[in-house]
Structure 1
Amino acid sequence: MSDELEGKHGVQSLEVGMSILRAMADGQRSMMLKDIAAAADMPASKAHRYLVSLIRAGLVDQDPMTSRYDLGTFALNLGLVALDRLDRVRLGLNVIAEMRDEINQTTALAVWGDKGPVIVRWERPRRPITVNVITGTVLDLLMSATGRVFAAWMPKKIIAPLLAEELKQPALPPELKSKAGVEALLTEIRARGYAATNGQHRVAGVEAVAAPVFNFKNEITMSLLVVGVQGMFDTSPEGEVVKSLLRHAEALSLRLGAHGEAKVPT
C-alpha cells in the first residue's frame, strides 16, 4: 500500500476513541456508560473497552462513588494548551502578568465558553493576603464582574437564556431580581466601560472589577479581571486598579484590531 493511500485511511480505533471524547464534551457533565454509548452511537460493551484505554491515557476519569465518567486531567490540559496557543489568549496572558506587576493584585483572563465566561489563567500577586482564582471556573453573569462585562457586550440571544436562569436564584440582590433591573445595570456598565461587583460578589469578602477586550469586529472577545479582598481593594474609577485595568484593556483591544465604538449588543 502506498504511503499516500495509507495516510488517507488513518487509524480507525483513534477515530472511535475521539467520538467518545466528543460525546462526553458535548454532554457538558459527567455521564453514565449507557449515555456515553448512546451519544457515540455504539454498544455499551464497545464504549467500555475504549473508556478503559482513555482512562489509562488520562483523557477520562471515573468517579468510583457514582461510576460516572468525565473528562480527565490530560484532556483538560489539552484544552488549556489549545487556548494558550491562540494568539489573542497569548497576548492576554502577557497583559495580566503586566497588570499584576503594576498593581500587585490578583489578575485573571476570561473567555466565553459553552456555559458562560471561563477563567483561563490567573496571576498571583506578591502580598501576604491574596484571593486565588481557579482556572477553568465558569463565572456567574450577575454576581461576578467578568460575567457582568460579558452580559453587557455579548449578543442578547446568547445571554438571554443564561440570564433567565440566574434570575431564578433567590440570593440575588433586590435590584437584580427583575429584567429591568438587570438591563439598567448593563446599560451603566456599557456607559462607564467596566464592571465592578460593588459588594455583590458571590464569594463573601471578595471584590472584583473587569473590563472587556474587543476584536477587529469591535465585538467582545475576552475580559481582563482584577480580584481583591473587600476593604483592601480600591474599585473607584479614580483608583490605580481601575485606571490600570482600563488602560490595558484598551491597549489590548487596539492590538487585536478594535477601532471606534464597541458594538452594542442586539
Structure 2
Amino acid sequence: MTAEIENPAGARQQKVQAAEVGVGILKALAELAPATSLSKLAEHVGMPASKVHRYLQALVASGFAEQNVVTNHYGLGREALLVGLAALGQLDVLKTAAPHLSALRDDLNETCFLAVWGNKGPTVVYVEQSIGAVTLVTQIGSVLPLLSSSTGLVFNSFLGSNETAALARLESAQLSARQLKDVEKHLKEIRSTGVHQIHGLLMAGVNAVSSPVFAMGNRLAGVVTVVGSASMFTGAAQDQAAMKLLKTAQDISLRMGGSFQLSGV
C-alpha cells in the first residue's frame, strides 16, 4: 500500500527532473548556436553523450531540435524558434525599462529617462520626472545632440559608425579641436566602464549620468539617463547615482537578452 502511494509522487518527480534536463539541453543548443556536435553538447552540459542523445531524439521528434543530415550536428528546431520569436516580441525596450526607471526615480528622486535611436538621432521616449521643488523637465520626443550630451555620447560609443556618421560630421563641424579631443576621451571612458557622468555639458547647471541598454546579440537598444541640478546632483550623490544607474541598465539588458561586454568591465 505504501509503495502504491509513493509511486505517483516519484513518477512526478522523475518527470520534473526530465523536463529540467530537457530545458538545460535546449539552453545549451542556444548557447552553442547555430549548430554543434553531440560530443561538444554533452561536454557543455556535463552529461554522458548517450544520455544527451536520448533527450535529443525526443527534442527532434517534438520539433524543438533538429539534426543536419550532412554534418550530423544539432541545432534548435522550428518549434524552439517560434517560442523564441514570441518571447522577443514581448521584449519591447520601453515596456521593459519603464518599471526599472520608475524604481530608480523613487530611489534617487531625480529625473530618469530612456532614449532610443531615431531618424534624427537620440530621441527621448520615456520619462520619469523627479518629485520635488526643482524639476528638470525632459520632454518626450526631444532629440538630444550626439556629441554634446551624455545620452548622445553613449549612443556614439556603441552604435555602428554607419548609423552615426552623418550626424557626427554635422556636429563635429561646430566643435573646436579641444572639444573634439574631449569627445574621444569621453567615448573611450564610456566603452570601458559602461556608465558616463557629465557636468553641465548640454545645459549649464545640469549634470547627467547615462548608461547603455543592450538587447539580444548585444545590440544597443537604448540609453538610460539620470539628470539633476548641479547644486545637488554632484560629487558623491552623482557617483552613487552612476552606480545605481549602471546596475539598472544591466538589469534591463539582462531582461532584453543582452549583456555588458565592455573593454574594461
TM (norm. structure 2) is: 0.61
**1:130–1:237 distance in 2 versus 1, CA, 3 Å:** closer
Letter of the 2:167 counterpart: L
Per residue, is there more helix in 1 or in 2? 2
Provide the C-alpha distance between the structure 2 equivalents of 1:184 and 1:158, rounded to a whole number of angstroms. 21
**1:256–1:103 distance in 2 versus 1, CA, 3 Å:** same
1:208 Cα deviation (Å)?
1.0
1:142 Cα deviation (Å)?
1.2
1:184 Cα deviation (Å)?
3.0
Match of residue 176 from structure 1: 179
Match of residue 214 from structure 1: 214
Which deviates more from structure 2 when the two are superposed, residues 104-113 or residues 182-191? 182-191
Residue correspondence of structure 1 range 89-238 to structure 2 within 5 A:
89-169=94-174, 172=175, 175-177=178-180, 181-201=182-202, 203-234=203-234
Provide the C-alpha distance between the structure 2 equivalents of 1:204 and 1:254, rounded to a whole number of angstroms. 34
Which secondary structure state, in structure 2, belongs to the residue aligned with residue 101 of structure 1? helix
1:242 Cα deviation (Å)?
0.7
Which secondary structure state, in structure 2, belongs to the residue aligned with residue 164 of structure 1? helix
1:206 Cα deviation (Å)?
1.2
Provide the C-alpha distance between the structure 1 equivalents of 2:131 and 2:224, rounded to a whole number of angstroms. 19
Provide the C-alpha distance between the structure 2 equivalents of 1:260 and 1:146, rounded to a whole number of angstroms. 17
1:238 Cα deviation (Å)?
7.6
Tell me if structure 2 keeps the 8 A contact 1:153–1:220: yes
TM (norm. structure 1) is: 0.60
Provide the C-alpha distance between the structure 1 equivalents of 2:234 and 2:260, rounded to a whole number of angstroms. 29
**1:133–1:235 distance in 2 versus 1, CA, 3 Å:** farther
Which secondary structure state, in structure 2, belongs to the residue aligned with residue 197 of structure 1? strand
- The percent identity for this pair of structures is 35
**What number of residue pairs does the alignment pair up?**
175
**1:260–1:111 distance in 2 versus 1, CA, 3 Å:** closer
Provide the C-alpha distance between the structure 2 equivalents of 1:214 and 1:197, rounded to a whole number of angstroms. 21
1:257 Cα deviation (Å)?
0.8
Gaps of 5+ in 2: 1-89
Tell me if structure 2 keeps the 8 A contact 1:218–1:262: no
User: Which protein shows a greater Rg?
Assistant: 2
Tell me if structure 2 keeps the 8 A contact 1:151–1:159: yes
Q: CA RMSD in A?
A: 2.3
Tell me if structure 2 keeps the 8 A contact 1:235–1:242: no
Tell me if structure 2 keeps the 8 A contact 1:237–1:243: no
CA deviation vs aligned residue, 1:95-146 (integer Å, no higher than 9, x gap): 1111101111011111110111100111112211121101100100111111
Provide the C-alpha distance between the structure 2 equivalents of 1:184 and 1:239, rounded to a whole number of angstroms. 19
Provide the C-alpha distance between the structure 1 equivalents of 2:153 and 2:234, rounded to a whole number of angstroms. 19
Tell me if structure 2 keeps the 8 A contact 1:235–1:241: no
**1:91–1:235 distance in 2 versus 1, CA, 3 Å:** farther
Provide the C-alpha distance between the structure 2 equivalents of 1:260 and 1:222, rounded to a whole number of angstroms. 13
Which secondary structure state, in structure 2, belongs to the residue aligned with residue 111 of structure 1? strand
**1:188–1:215 distance in 2 versus 1, CA, 3 Å:** same
Tell me if structure 2 keeps the 8 A contact 1:219–1:262: no
Letter of the 1:220 counterpart: L
Structure 1 runs (4+) deviating above 3 angstroms are 235-238
Tell me if structure 1 keeps the 8 A contact 2:194–2:262: no
Which secondary structure state, in structure 2, belongs to the residue aligned with residue 225 of structure 1? strand
